[in-house]
Amino acid sequence: MKNEKAKIITITSVKGGTGKTETILNIAGLLSQRNLKTIIVDLDLHSGVIAPILNVKADADFYDLANDISNNHFNQIEDYIVKYNDNIDILASPKDPRMAYKIDPKYITVALGRLNYKYDVILIDTNHIIDGVNLITFDSSDEIIYLITNDLMDFRNMKNMINIYEDMERTNYKIVLNESINQGGFSDFDIRTILNHKIDYTLPKSFHLHGIQKYVENGEIPSLDKSLSKEKGIEVLNHLIDDFLK
């Protein structure tokens, strides 16, 4: 049993197609290289792909966990966790997306409480929908990372979120611009003008891994490949990790 609570980091977006899942996997890989015990909690309950993309078979998932808690059948959190490697575990999203509607968001808090002293870092993957699941997740997070692309819709939606955080006087979020996904052609000046807020980190265009399909097919995490350690995007993610582990 660990003596310190885990850092809870949520990776989210303001629309789909921003490279969120690939980013969370790369962050998990880099944490693993630091020998930090990490669990990825897949709370993209309708369309989570963490377990399938890593080619791991989850005998139980978040729906099973919530259902067992509600029916007093819960024994231990380990019964719902699948191992990827020595430092990375996974709590999978429902295999049947219809089960997502049957999950009471209050069980997110219960699950995180059970995980808190077992891991160094809890990485949470979410979708971009502002619902009860995400609201509870955000409230439980030490840091929230918004991954956006060079796209006007991303900027407009992110601006709305910035306004919401300002109204709540919350500052525990970072904005990461993923330029490796080619979309719009807005300049840095344009982006700052639209958002009226800084971009905290930028994943460069060069970070588009041409062989990404190879990793997906093999159930591998790109950042665990030592040949990629000098990639600029890997360096950016390491700086981001240094930031939220401070």
Is 61 a member of any domain? yes
> Does position 1 have pLDDT exceeding 50, yes or no?
no
Is 1 a member of any domain? no
Instruction: Look up tokens 């897949």; give the residue.
Output: 42
pTM, entire model: 0.94
Is 234 a member of any domain? yes
pLDDT in tens, 60-75: 999 999 999 999 999 9
The pLDDT, as a whole number, for residue 145 is 97
The pLDDT, as a whole number, for residue 174 is 96
209 or 45, greater pLDDT? 45
Residue 228's pLDDT band (cuts 50, 70, 90): confident
The pLDDT, as a whole number, for residue 216 is 76
Is 73 a member of any domain? yes
Domain, as residue range, for 217 = 7-240
Is 84 a member of any domain? yes
DSSP 15: S
Kindly state the average pLDDT of the residues 1-11: 86
Strands 173-178 and 201-203: parallel
Q: Which residues of 212-225 are buried (b: 16+ CB within 10 A; e: fewer)?
A: eeebbeeebbbbbb
Give CA–CA dist 94/43, Å, rounded. Answer: 9
pLDDT in tens, 76-132: 999 999 999 999 999 999 999 899 999 999 999 999 999 999 999 999 999 998 899
Closest to 43 (Cα-Cα) out of 97, 114, 5, 85: 97
Mean pLDDT of the chain: 92
Is 13 a member of any domain? yes
Residue 183's pLDDT band (cuts 50, 70, 90): low
Closest to 39 (Cα-Cα) out of 75, 79, 86: 86
Give CA–CA dist 185/187, Å, rounded. Answer: 6
Is 112 a member of any domain? yes
Give CA–CA dist 6/59, Å, rounded. Answer: 25
CATH of the domain at 53: 3.40.50.300
The sign of the torsion formed by the CA atoms of 38, 43, 46, 47 equals negative
- Give the number of domains in the chain: 1
The pLDDT, as a whole number, for residue 211 is 60
Give CA–CA dist 53/175, Å, rounded. Answer: 25
Is 246 a member of any domain? no
Q: Is residue 205 packed enough to be buried (19+ CB in 10 Å), middle (13-18) or exposed (0-12)? A: middle
